[in-house]
């Protein structure tokens, strides 16, 4: 019998040595296939699956068994309590990036029209979250990938954030010299090309162009920090997410370019994660 319980148990066995959370993965995938929540699976565990649902579930479990991230299989990821569409064209939003949102929201007034630039927007998670939380803020979101911008625009429409301006650009290269901002934010590629973590976990399936940077992971941080000076208003702020071991180097880059009040903030696990400076 192809009951929900039997198929979940079978999937757990298949995923046991390929996932840190086999039961959760199996439930999320089956709930996605059925268009139900996970509590439905427990309440109706003796319900038989239709053949179409069974075949799709089997395919998804096999993809998960070889390491494809759950977010790519379900095409969704939660970030700041909102659902975002994702695909293999964009990075999967991570909890660590919520620190960047938290810090910026503290500095973005509810009743002022700040101009904010999100560099390398990907799924649009940063830009859309800020737009939803601070509706008066004028937000520009940049990415060099057409596919990523399409995903970001779809997410913006889903969350009714139609006032974001999306721009196709390799960092700041497509901006006019008159374009200036109060805040420039970025979660750029910052993993070194020889980092062993690139062959582990979800990152194996994520776009390398959004993960890896030359110069020991610092190339894009240096490029953005240098070019951003021309687009920051007086008193403007530049914010980076970076690797846990890159705080000192990122601070040194900003200080060498005469950014002021350079400071690093730690994430919930106590790791240095976000560095900022004023112009």
If you average pLDDT over every residue of the chain, what do you get?
Answer: 95
Average pLDDT over residues 63-88: 96
pLDDT at position 275 is 98
- Per residue in 67-96, is it b (16+ CB within 10 Å) or e — as a string? ebbbbbbbeebebbeeebbbbebbbbbeeb
pLDDT at position 109 is 87
30-53 confidence digits (pLDDT tens): 999 999 999 999 999 999 999 999
pLDDT at position 68 is 96
Residue 197 has pLDDT above 90, yes or no: no
Question: Domains in the chain, ordered, with CATH?
Answer: 4-67 (1.10.8.10), 89-278 (3.40.50.150)
- Of the candidates 78, 113, 115, 110, the residue with the CA atom closest to the CA atom of residue 97: 78
Rounded CA gap, 64 and 22, in Å? 10
pLDDT at position 201 is 84
pLDDT at position 182 is 97
Rounded CA gap, 87 and 85, in Å? 7
This prediction's pTM: 0.93
Q: Is 110 exposed, middle or buried (0-12, 13-18, 19+ CB in 10 A)?
A: exposed
122: left (phi over 0), alpha (psi -120 to 50) or beta: left
Query: What percent of the chain has a predicted confidence (pLDDT) above 90?
Result: 91
């Amino acid at each position: 019998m192809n009951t929900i319980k039997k198929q979940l148990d079978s999937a757990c066995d298949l995923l046991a040595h390929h996932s840190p959370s086999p039961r959760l993965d199996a439930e999320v995938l089956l709930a996605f296939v059925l268009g139900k929540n996970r509590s439905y699976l427990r309440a109706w565990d003796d319900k038989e699956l239709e053949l179409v649902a069974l075949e799709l579930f089997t395919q998804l479990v096999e993809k998960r068994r070889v390491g494809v991230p759950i977010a790519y299989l379900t095409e969704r990821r939660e970030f700041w309590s909102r659902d975002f569409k994702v695909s293999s064209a964009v990075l999967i939003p991570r909890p660590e990036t919520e620190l960047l949102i938290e810090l910026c929201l503290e500095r973005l007034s509810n009743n002022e029209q700040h101009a904010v630039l999100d560099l390398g927007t990907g799924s649009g998670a940063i830009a859309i979250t800020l737009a939803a939380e601070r509706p008066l803020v004028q937000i520009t979101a940049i990415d060099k990938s057409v596919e990523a911008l399409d995903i970001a625009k779809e997410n913006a429409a889903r969350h009714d954030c139609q006032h974001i301006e999306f721009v196709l650009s390799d960092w700041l290269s497509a901006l006019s010299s008159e374009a200036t901002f109060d805040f420039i934010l970025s979660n750029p590629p910052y993993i070194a090309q020889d980092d062993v973590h690139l062959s582990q976990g979800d990152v194996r399936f994520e776009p390398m162009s959004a993960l890896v940077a030359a110069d020991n992971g610092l190339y894009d941080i240096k490029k953005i920090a240098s070019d951003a000076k021309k687009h920051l208003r007086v008193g403007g702020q530049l914010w980076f997410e970076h690797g846990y071991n890159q705080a000192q180097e990122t601070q040194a880059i900003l200080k060498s370019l005469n950014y002021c009040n350079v400071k690093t903030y730690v994430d919930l696990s106590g790791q240095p994660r976000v560095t900022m400076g004023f112009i």
